[in-house]
Amino acid sequence: MSGGGARALQTLNVYSNDYRICLAQKFIGEKTNEVPAAQEALRIMDIKGTIITADAMNCQKDTAAVIMDGKEDYALALKGNQPLFYNEVRGYFDDRCRETLRKKEGCYKKTAEAEHGAAVAREYYITEDTGWYSEKNE
């Protein structure tokens, strides 16, 4: 070891919640990040019949395109990393929209589970209406 310490090994894991196993691993190079590695892993996997989930870092147009090329669905976390998209989503899913979706069958789901020693509740609102999104064709 020289230069003051060892660099942490960066690994991308593709994990199955249903089977509770790691399906694939990809080591991340020193001068890159996980986004291209995740896209590459998705391209080589048979993802038919799955819903792909990912953190906000992977909320990218190219990642969504790879998943759609595999003819599957996705739920990507959205935070401030995509400011235009984030603000448009917040604007669309106002109180009235969420109330309407709660009443429509198949458009709302709420889950509660223990996660890392804490209770976590999540609400999912599902719509096929994308007319409000300025970059929907991209």
- Rounded mean pLDDT for each run of 10 residues along the chain, 138 residues in total: 64 86 85 84 87 88 90 85 89 96 96 89 92 86
The pLDDT of residue 1 is: 47
Please name the residues in contact with 56: beta carbons below 8 A apart, sequence gap of 6 or more: 76, 77, 78, 79, 81
DSSP state of 9: P
Residue 122 within a domain? yes
Q: Please give the Cα distance from 46 to 64 (Å, whole number).
A: 16
Q: Please give the Cα distance from 53 to 111 (Å, whole number).
A: 15
Whole-model pTM? 0.71
- Strand pairing report for 108-115 and 118-125: antiparallel
The pLDDT of residue 7 is: 66
End-to-end CA distance of the chain: 46
The pLDDT of residue 95 is: 97
Q: What is the DSSP string of 43-66?
A: HHS--TT-EEEE-GGG--HHHHHH
Residue 38 within a domain? no
The pLDDT of residue 112 is: 93
Neighbours of 41 (CB within 10 A): 19
Residue 128's domain comprises 97-132
The pLDDT of residue 47 is: 84
Residue 34 within a domain? no
> Domain tally for the chain?
1
Residue 107 within a domain? yes
Residue 18 within a domain? no
The pLDDT of residue 2 is: 53
Residue 117 within a domain? yes
Residue 128 within a domain? yes
Residue 116 within a domain? yes
